[in-house]
Amino acid sequence: MTERVKIFDTTLRDGEQSPGASMNTKEKLRLAVQLEKLGVDIIEAGFPAASEGDFDAVSQIAGKLHNVEVAGLARASTEDIDRAWQAISHAAHPRIHTFLATSDIHMEYKLKMTREEVLAAAAAAVRHARTYTDNVEFSAEDGSRSDRDFLCKVFEAAIEAGATTVNLPDTVGYAVPTEFAEMVRYLRDHVPNLHKAVLSVHCHNDLGLATANTLAAVMEGARQVEVTVNGIGERAGNTSMEEVVMAIHTRGGYLPVTTSLNTEYIHATSRLVSMITGIIIQPNKAIVGANAFAHEAGIHQDGMLKNPMTYEIMRPETIGLTHSSLVLGKHSGRHALRERLKELGYELSDEELKMVFKRFKEIADRKKHVVDEDLEVIVTEGILRTSDIFQLSYLHVTAGTTVLPMASVEMSVNGRSVRGAGYGNGPIDAAFNTIAKLSGTVSELLRFSVSALTGGTDAQGEVTVRLRENGLIALGRGADPDIITASAKAYVNGLNRLEYLKTHPVQATAT
């Protein structure tokens, strides 16, 4: 009988630690519902002790989901574990995930604890968590750089104390596949009670090996993988959920395991994460990138026409890349719009559909056809965005070879209408300068990127900005057929996210 690998999704916790990728509670709830629809086994909803905002989000997610396990992260301390349980206790299937570093460098410089103290603290944390639930996971932070024999002792003690899952993290992405596989094999051979727990792995992508390391661990008996959608996360990110799942799906003869995922929702989930976080998916990203199923070379095209399997090892339909026969335009009604949104993974209430339909009609009057990417922009801007302190009401720019670029802006600041004008090196610079002056903000623009969401001269342009203020970094995103308007929207969106971060600090953790 084929064994099943559990999919532990930490997009809402570790993924949110991507610089500037923090999500508000409304966004987290919508993503959590989509992850449950996708069929992941466990959702790590957040780190409840990090902030009141994180606690509230975890608590709401725990009460919203019914079929999936909801995990709350906690350091190996009584206070953290108590706080995690308060947030997830009403979940249908709660899990406490506690962690403590086990590498010599972390114990000496970060924890300032001896091996004996770490061993005792790990066991004590698990025992305390078990007073609340029998679903307890223990992670050995920086496990891949830990002494193997000491790591075996820690896992043995954690399982003896009641852990039902023990997790081996490659916290800094240091391991290579053969080495990581050997480490998993060593644990299986030298932890005497490992058969009482599920062995999990959590890999980071600093050397670009997270997926390879994860699959190598699965081959050696790991039966839980900790992943994020699109591979987002701290530094170079985490193991990509879609890469692991589709590798298992595609190479079943070599990887004799299965997952519970409904793969046809992969593409919609990937797009949702990108839209919420503002992190653009690179075109050549495996599985979900724009070029993943694109063929330009003549030889490839000829082969594809004769048999798609000549150059495609998986069918695009498997991940939800189907083409609807519905053509949406200005004559389309609400029913057609609702059905297409359902296919894209958006289940909207009547009130939300009303808001989206109004914006859809506005865009349809300006474009011949409204395509999927347009709909995703509408949903994001109308439904998923934060409660805005700053709102753009009016923008007019003048620019050219013989005039000084100038922008006239009207915007709302905390509900109060303000207007003004300013100059810049170009129309976008003038718009940004004026918006900054009117909003009273002093952020630094770290990155500015432009891409076309759709084809054609009437395509929606997508602009992403990265802003920094007082150590906080936020991504802003805007889309519009007019690229200058899209830029202004992205800048205002980034300013709103910075304001959100000022009042909802996120405390970083690492496993």
Q: Mind giving me the DSSP string for 478-500?
A: EEESSHHHHHHHHHHHHHHHHHH
Q: What is the CATH number of the domain that holds 127?
A: 3.20.20.70
Structure confidence at residue 505 (pLDDT): 67
Q: Rounded to an integer, what distance in angstroms lies between the CA atom of residue 146 and that of residue 129?
A: 24
Q: Do 407 and 494 share a domain, yes or no?
A: yes
Would the pLDDT of 308 be above 80? no
Structure confidence at residue 315 (pLDDT): 75
Q: Do 252 and 136 share a domain, yes or no?
A: yes
Task: For residue 480, give the nearest of 335, 380, 338, 337 by alpha carbon.
Answer: 380
Q: Do 340 and 474 share a domain, yes or no?
A: no
Per-residue tokens: 105: 């460098």
Q: Do 443 and 361 share a domain, yes or no?
A: no
**255 belongs to a structural domain:** yes
Structure confidence at residue 101 (pLDDT): 98
Q: Do 407 and 351 share a domain, yes or no?
A: no
Q: Do 373 and 391 share a domain, yes or no?
A: no
Secondary structure letter of residue 281 according to DSSP:
P
List phi, psi (to 5°) of 78: -60, -45
Residue 288 pLDDT grade (very low, low, confident, very high; cuts 50, 70, 90): confident
Q: In 19-164, where do the E strands start and end? A: 42-46, 69-75, 94-101, 136-141
pTM of whole model > 0.95?
Answer: no
Higher pLDDT, 314 or 135: 135
Q: Rounded to an integer, what distance in angstroms lies between the CA atom of residue 157 and that of residue 162?
A: 9
When pLDDT is averaged across residues 284-295 and rounded to a whole number, the result is: 76
- pLDDT, tens digit (0-9, with 9 covering 90-100), for 1-48: 689 999 999 999 998 888 777 788 989 999 999 999 999 999 999 999
Q: Do 499 and 449 share a domain, yes or no?
A: yes
- pLDDT, tens digit (0-9, with 9 covering 90-100), for 362-417: 888 877 677 776 787 788 766 766 568 999 999 999 999 999 999 999 999 999 99
End-to-end CA distance of the chain: 32
Would the pLDDT of 86 be above 90? yes
Q: Rounded to an integer, what distance in angstroms lies between the CA atom of residue 497 and that of residue 500?
A: 5
Q: Do 121 and 189 share a domain, yes or no?
A: yes
Structure confidence at residue 327 (pLDDT): 58
Structure confidence at residue 104 (pLDDT): 97
Contact (CB, 8 A) for 157 and 129 = no
Q: Do 349 and 397 share a domain, yes or no?
A: no
Contact (CB, 8 A) for 211 and 236 = no
Domain encompassing residue 49 = 3-277
Q: Where a domain ends, among 223, 258, 277? A: 277
When pLDDT is averaged across residues 448-455 and rounded to a whole number, the result is: 77
When pLDDT is averaged across residues 233-251 and rounded to a whole number, the result is: 96
**295 belongs to a structural domain:** no
Q: Rounded to an integer, what distance in angstroms lies between the CA atom of residue 405 and that of residue 399?
A: 4
The four Cα atoms 389, 464, 429, 426 give a dihedral, to 10 degrees, of -140
Structure confidence at residue 431 (pLDDT): 97
Q: Where a domain ends, among 383, 408, 427? A: 383
